[in-house]
Amino acid sequence: MKLRNTVIIIGLFALLIIGIFKVSDSSVEAVDLKTQQQIQLGQMVEQLQQAIKTPENEKSLNIIQQYGTDTRYYLMVRGWLVQVSSGVESQLSVQQAQPQKQALQIRYDALQKAIRMIDLE
């Protein structure tokens, strides 16, 4: 009887330990997945940041279109473009020097094009 109880207790203990390892493995997998998603989101934001700095570049427009037409990110990308565009428009209205004004106008036009591009999709 004592031997049987001992075997049962050892068996239950073994099951408990196995269960703990399985739970911790799934927790690690969940953390790894979350970390991976955070890294991907960070990379996307960095790509967009660079693209919005140079919207007149064709590659930049492709990146903006890629993320701007994704329904998960549309609102963020459009809002970002509108805010940057508003700042450039403000600078454009007070700029007196023709070369800088022309560069700002090109950037403003490219930002407006990007906004229209993602709105039409």
The HSE-up count of residue 32 (CA atoms within 13 Å, CB side) is: 6
Q: For position 75, what pLDDT does the model report?
A: 94
Q: Which residues contact 17 (CB under 8 A, 6 or more apart)?
A: none
Single out the residue of 84, 48, 45 nearest to residue 65, CA to CA. Answer: 48
Torsion sign (Cα): 23, 27, 30, 36: negative
The torsion defined by the Cα of 48, 54, 57 and 58, in degrees rounded to 10, comes to 20
Q: For position 34, what pLDDT does the model report?
A: 84
Q: For position 26, what pLDDT does the model report?
A: 55
Give the tens place of pLDDT for each residue, 6-33.
656 666 556 556 665 555 555 556 668 8
Supply 91's token pair. 């600078």
Q: For position 120, what pLDDT does the model report?
A: 86
Which of 19-28, 39-48, 111-120 shows the lowest mean pLDDT across its residues? 19-28
Q: What is the pTM of this model?
A: 0.71
Give the tens place of pLDDT for each residue, 53-62.
999 999 999 9
